[in-house]
Amino acid sequence: MKKVLSVLLLLVLAALLVAQTLTLTILHTSDLHGNIFPINYATNKPSDVGLAKIYTLVKAVRSENPNVLLIDTGDLIQGTPLEYYHARIENDSPDPMVLVMNHMGFKASVLGNHEFNYGMNILKKAISEAEFPFLSANIVKKGTDQPYFKPYVVLEVSGVKVGLLGLTTKFIPNWEDPKNIAELDFLDPVEVAKKYVKILREEEKVDVVIVGYHGGLERDPESGEPTEELTGENQGYQLLQEVPGIDALLTGHQHRSLAVMIKGVPVTQPSNWGQELGRIDLVLDNSSGSWKIVDKKVTLLSTKGVEADQEILSLAQSYEDKVQKWLDQPIGWAEGDFYVEDPLSARLEDHPLIEFINRVQMYYSKAKISSAALFNNDIKGWKEGPITLRDINAVYIYPNTLKVLKVTGKDIKDALELSASYFDYDGNEITVNKSWVEPKPRHYNYDMWEGIHYIIDVSKPVGQRIVDLTFEGKPVEMDKEYEIVLNNYRAGGGGGYTMFKGKPVVREVMMEVAELMADYVMQHKTIRPTVNHNWYVGIETYHVVEPGDTLSFIARSYDVSVKDILRWNPWIENPDLIYPGQKILIYEPYLRTILSF
């Protein structure tokens, strides 16, 4: 009996000796948008962004634990002048982002929506230069269910078999120029994930399944309540609801800072531009004979104050030198400021910078009506003096082209109403509607128009705010057709502007808007800031006529014109004859109400 017990004890001890735990660390970048150097290209000043800073963090983690997987979830090769210069001006050398990521030891990158902005040839070249796969299981060859790109990769880390599945937001056809994705279809990532997670588990026999998704969370991580309209653009929460077997979810696209547990699964989203690095630690144990996750942690590492890695800077320096020289070329002169002091004010009434963009779009497209946006709150424009390519590229940050659409007056009105929902008004102060900034800022979807006259009356309910909408001095007719020029993103219905999707394209301007702006400045040599006050955000009020009042006096008091007052009050038959006690409708510019205090 003692001999049997001894044998059993030896077997137990042997099993304990074989048993081990291992910590697998997943490091995650997303939405890098061409950022390698710790610099803001608009100001040429230092900034806590870029892969050089990220690599310092990566090396520190690797020094703690060799079992590290470095993974990116897309929007890689577009977004800075560095990538623009490489794609459009000097594309012979390897893509700088890919070059650096090869050196850093990335294991994979998931295709993002902006990967397609420069066309398939540029993307295919970047993929061919990568020492890691570009993944997406739900982007398929047109008319088939065959993945166009590699759907997943299986990696081995110290005996642990890891499956990484790539998925991409299916919403890309709503934004991208059709010619750039003509070979592709975009399937539902949730349905595709069900298929491939099963393959990874049952056929590939992986121990760990990681899903990298270029898309975000459409619901609150804690409550599960929707945080946006459920369009299918972001389906991260739905993935975890409907697809069993996911051990870690790496998200992107929304530019959010997320390190959370959802239904027991660690989820990261490391902001954008390399400001943060996602970290998931999975502790695995194989005492049962197979690897099982026994603990998990999730966090974000900030690049704020982190030193940039000199190896990375040196590797990409020749690219940077060319770009900096290119950016600082003067191309013209500004006689006055095209400068945004306050982004909210620039969205409350006509501004020289936005009017300039619209005028350029109208000039090259020959359309009489145009819309444009101030894409984010960091865009400033330029002040009086020389204008450089840096100034232009810092204002128009996307590689959009232009389309002239034929739309109805109702389409225009509906689009204006959508933009008007950008504002909240509490009866005293105008603020930005929370849904426009959370969970992701969407300032780029607030459009400002030229060629039409309109007022956004924030005292009215959302959907009923556009008043005094005219074109060439006449009311815009809801059933009449008009030609308007939009960027290709908006023309495809991007940003929720579904009223434009599928509308007839009258003509296209295939040069990118930043190039058009630069060309316009070079042609004209000197440009002057102008505003024609064709729109503003106002508040409906009534002026009670007092003895001695005249329409001219009232108009000056509210910073409007007599013509405006007569248009708003058609009952006034004689502009020289008004009486005390009469109530006159005024749409008072909101900025005037602030300045009057």
Q: What is the pTM of this model?
A: 0.80
**Residue pLDDT, tens place only, 438-449:** 988 999 999 999
Gap between the Cα atoms of 245 and 242, Å rounded: 10
**Residue pLDDT, tens place only, 495-536:** 999 999 989 999 888 788 998 999 899 999 999 999 999 999
What is the domain partition of the chain in residue ranges?
Answer: 16-321, 330-535, 540-595
pLDDT recorded at residue 592:
80
Model confidence at 16: pLDDT above 60: no
> How far lies 57's CA from each of 269, 286, 309, 448, in Å?
16, 29, 9, 41
Average pLDDT of the residues in 473-491: 96
Dihedral angle sign, alpha carbons of residues 303, 125, 69, 292: positive
CATH 3.10.350.10 for the 540-595 domain, yes or no: yes
Q: Which residues contact 126 (CB under 8 A, 6 or more apart)?
A: 76, 77, 95, 97, 98, 134
pLDDT recorded at residue 511:
81
Q: What are phi and psi of 535, to 5 degrees?
A: -155, 160
Which CATH number among 2.30.30.30, 3.60.21.10, 3.30.70.260, 3.40.228.10 corresponds to the domain 16-321?
3.60.21.10
Which CATH number among 3.40.50.620, 3.10.129.10, 1.20.1260.10, 3.90.780.10 corresponds to the domain 330-535?
3.90.780.10
Q: Which residues contact 74 (CB under 8 A, 6 or more apart)?
A: 30, 31, 109, 110, 111, 112, 113, 114, 115, 168, 214, 252, 253
Q: Which residue has the higher pLDDT, 16 or 481?
A: 481
pLDDT recorded at residue 8:
41
pLDDT recorded at residue 14:
41
Q: Comparing 16-321 with 330-535, is the CATH topology the same?
A: no
**Residue pLDDT, tens place only, 211-232:** 999 999 999 999 999 988 898 9
**Residue pLDDT, tens place only, 132-165:** 999 999 999 999 999 999 999 999 999 999 999 9
When pLDDT is cut at 50, 70 and 90, the band that residue 268 belongs to is very high
What angle (nearest 5°) sits at the alpha carbon of residue 91, between those of residues 88 and 92? Answer: 160
The torsion angle over the Cα atoms of residues 415, 416, 417 and 422, rounded to 10 degrees, is 110
Gap between the Cα atoms of 514 and 507, Å rounded: 19
